[in-house]
Structure 1
Amino acid sequence: MKKNVVLFSKIPDDQQKRLADAFNLSVFDGSPDSNKDAFITALAGADGMIGSNMATRVDDAFLALAPKLQAASTISVGYDNYDLSALKKRRIRLMNTPTVLTEGTADLIFTLLMATARRTVELSNLIHDGKWTSGITPQYYGTDVYGKTLGILGMGRIAKAIVKRAHCGFDMNVLYYNRSAHLDVEQTYQAKRCELDELLKHADFVVVILPLTSETDRLITKEKLALMKPSAILINGARGRIIDQQALTQALQAKTIKAAGLDVFEVEPLPMTSPLLHLDNIVLSPHVGSATLETRYVMAKCAVDNLIAALQDNPPTENWVNPEVG
């Protein structure tokens, strides 16, 4: 007998067909976050659920309304909206897509770094606003990337892809902060592991690519930002809550750091009332680290593979977030 699965995100037609062939598939139209009650109703008889990461918290209360759920497959690398302890109680398998978005996300983070350094958005707006009437004066000069020092927080797959770009493409010196050493990046790219404060004091570019945990929540505070050089640029491609956004806004307004590039925010979508929108020393992107045609297709395929594997009796062999549930 086929198991029941709810799909709550748009995926390529051929991947949706794979789900329909393997399961009794229900497609939930609409946002799970803005239609939470209807979404939970749709899950009442579901054995599996699959879709992009959402804000709705999958916790004990949520799972109590999905009594048959056996597996969840998120089309993302992040899974901070899933309460792992709640999943463990119910022995629900959680799957993610950690490997397929590495290069695309690294590209986006490096795009933010370069666009911020060279003030690309600001200068583009200058032209659009009809203010380019003569040669560019020093007030609009950017900052070199080549040969500078990159400080990177975290050393997972995406971080290593960024380090490769920095070292091989731009001859950058690399400092990194991570709870464990990575000899591969130290030997291949001459990266140096150091404490957070030391990294912040010496880096020309600080890139945040850590997972959000209780230890990393608000890791970058007002006090940590004050350690950075006035000429330094901060890039966040991880999770918005790792940085105290109010403190960052104040640092950018006071120009105690030079600029920032953000793909993630404390609240998403970014409210139109955010003071970040009134700054010219920031580049903003709407959480699009994996948003290329190629990467999103492969992510969807991976997530479908994951759910098919998770709803079999035998344990999955890869991309299993919580193997302790069995």
Structure 2
Amino acid sequence: MNTDIKRILVTRDFPDKGIERLKERAGFKVTLWDLERPMAPEELVEGAKSHDALLCTLSDRIDKAFLDACAHLEIISQYAVGYDNIDVAYADSLGIPVGYTPDAMTEATADISFGLMIATARQMFFMHKIIIDGQWGHFRPKGNMGVLGQALKGRTLGIYGMGRIGLCMAQRCHGAYGMSVLYWSRSSNAEAEKTLGAVRVEFDELLAQSDVVSAHCALTPDTRHVFNRAAFKRMKPTGIFINTARGPIHDEAALLEALETGEIWGAGLDVTDPEPMAKDHPLLSMPNVCVLPHIGSATKEARELMSVMAAENIIQFYDTGEIPHQVSV
């Protein structure tokens, strides 16, 4: 083991389990940014300049400018399953490996996707607002304020990106509602096809045939705004769009237009573009829209596991030269 003191910069007040592992590790000196707000870009650069390793998250912009200023870094470990905030290819060209925390939030995020689907189909957020606004009133056969939801049993689910989270979402929908599963993905998913009868289709068919379209892909140049005006026009007018992946995967102006014109029926979002969403955004006042503040990983268990995995990436790197969960370039 290298006996030199390694200085670790931790950019947020992450759950204790992982951070304690770093602090207890002989030969590590840990600097913890413990303010509620994220580090400003200039603070991040200045802080990283005097450290050997960085434990960061999605709010930290690890771009070419940062990497040029901090090319001495020996490892970057990301507290997230996504890493679109990091220029991984450029980091690799500088010899800086990047770790991340896959699987830790799979179940938690699939739960949010499933919950948003149900909440949107039954317009739960709007109904909650009716109570707060004192408009509950008497029983109305045609719905409170003329609003009725829609059933999900036996409908068709379209998964855009059949990875770990997409598969968990499909399992929930198929098991609970007997939903048929279509999916678009860069590669086939044998488990989904064998256990769920899922059928891999082209994107246009996914949009046209699905009653619920749920996005579970990484944010890349190819997936940025893949759900645009043209995509929403191809969906059923009764269709529901769910996004718990990344906000820029959908074009928010196009989504708003599709909902206002009735091109699609509803939307459930755990991610927006930008984040946070403005409190007076028109999507927030629509009865057929449910928005959450990016809480896909927000269970105690998931967040603690992410902290441990991010810490272990750094510990194992210095102990063995290997990173348990390294981003492939």
TM value normalised by structure 2: 0.93
Tell me whether 1:162 sits opposite 2:169 in the alignment: yes
Quick check: 1:6–1:49 contact (8 Å CA) kept in 2?
yes
- Which of 65, 83, 86 aligns to 1:82? It is 86
* Counterparts of 2:167 and 2:184, CA distance in 1: 12
TM value normalised by structure 1: 0.94
In structure 1, the residue matched to 2:294 is 287
In structure 2, the residue matched to 1:321 is 327
Tell me whether 1:180 sits opposite 2:187 in the alignment: yes
Query: Displacement, 1:30?
Result: 3.4
Moved over 4 A (4+): 31-34
Amino acid across the alignment from 1:87: A
* Counterparts of 1:313 and 1:46, CA distance in 2: 20
- Which of 95, 100, 103 aligns to 2:99? It is 95
- Cα RMSD (Å) of the superposition? 1.6
In structure 2, the residue matched to 1:13 is 16
Quick check: 2:16–2:304 contact (8 Å CA) kept in 1?
no
In structure 2, the residue matched to 1:135 is 139
In structure 1, the residue matched to 2:223 is 216
Task: Map Cα deviations across residues 66-124 of structure 1 (whole Å, 9 max, x no partner).
Answer: 24201111110000010022101211111111111110110010000000001111111
Task: Map Cα deviations across residues 228-278 of structure 1 (whole Å, 9 max, x no partner).
Answer: 111111000111111111000111112221110001111111123533233
- Which of 195, 198, 215 aligns to 2:205? It is 198
Indicate how the Cα distance of structure 1 residues 307 and 147 shifts in structure 2: closer, same or farther if over 3 A, else same.
same
Q: 5 Å matches for 1:13-162?
A: 13-22=16-25, 23-30=28-35, 33=38, 35-54=40-59, 56-138=60-142, 139-162=146-169
Query: Displacement, 1:281?
Result: 1.7
Indicate how the Cα distance of structure 1 residues 80 and 220 shifts in structure 2: closer, same or farther if over 3 A, else same.
same
Q: Which moved more, 1:110-119 or 1:36-45?
A: 36-45
Amino acid across the alignment from 2:9: V
Quick check: 2:10–2:33 contact (8 Å CA) kept in 1?
yes
What is the number of residues matched between the two proteins? 321
Q: 5 Å matches for 1:228-243?
A: 228-243=235-250
Indicate how the Cα distance of structure 1 residues 203 and 114 shifts in structure 2: closer, same or farther if over 3 A, else same.
same
* 1:43 partner SS: helix
* Counterparts of 2:141 and 2:45, CA distance in 1: 57
Amino acid across the alignment from 1:27: L
Query: Displacement, 1:145?
Result: 1.3
* 1:226 partner SS: helix
Q: Which moved more, 1:73-82 or 1:34-43?
A: 34-43
Task: Map Cα deviations across residues 190-241 of structure 1 (whole Å, 9 max, x no partner).
Answer: 1111111111111110101111111111111101101111111100011111
- Which of 271, 295, 310 aligns to 1:264? It is 271
Query: Displacement, 1:32?
Result: 7.4
* 1:175 partner SS: strand
Indicate how the Cα distance of structure 1 residues 312 and 86 shifts in structure 2: closer, same or farther if over 3 A, else same.
farther
* 1:260 partner SS: strand
* 1:6 partner SS: strand
Please, which runs of 5 or more residues in structure 1 have no aligned partner?
none
* 2:76 partner SS: strand
Indicate how the Cα distance of structure 1 residues 287 and 306 shifts in structure 2: closer, same or farther if over 3 A, else same.
same
* Counterparts of 1:278 and 1:148, CA distance in 2: 27
* Counterparts of 2:182 and 2:232, CA distance in 1: 17
Quick check: 1:58–1:81 contact (8 Å CA) kept in 2?
yes
Query: Displacement, 1:64?
Result: 2.3
Indicate how the Cα distance of structure 1 residues 15 and 84 shifts in structure 2: closer, same or farther if over 3 A, else same.
closer
* Counterparts of 1:133 and 1:279, CA distance in 2: 20
* Counterparts of 1:52 and 1:181, CA distance in 2: 30
Indicate how the Cα distance of structure 1 residues 278 and 119 shifts in structure 2: closer, same or farther if over 3 A, else same.
closer
- Quick one: percent identity of the two aligned structures? 35
* 1:311 partner SS: helix
Please, which runs of 5 or more residues in structure 2 have no aligned partner?
none
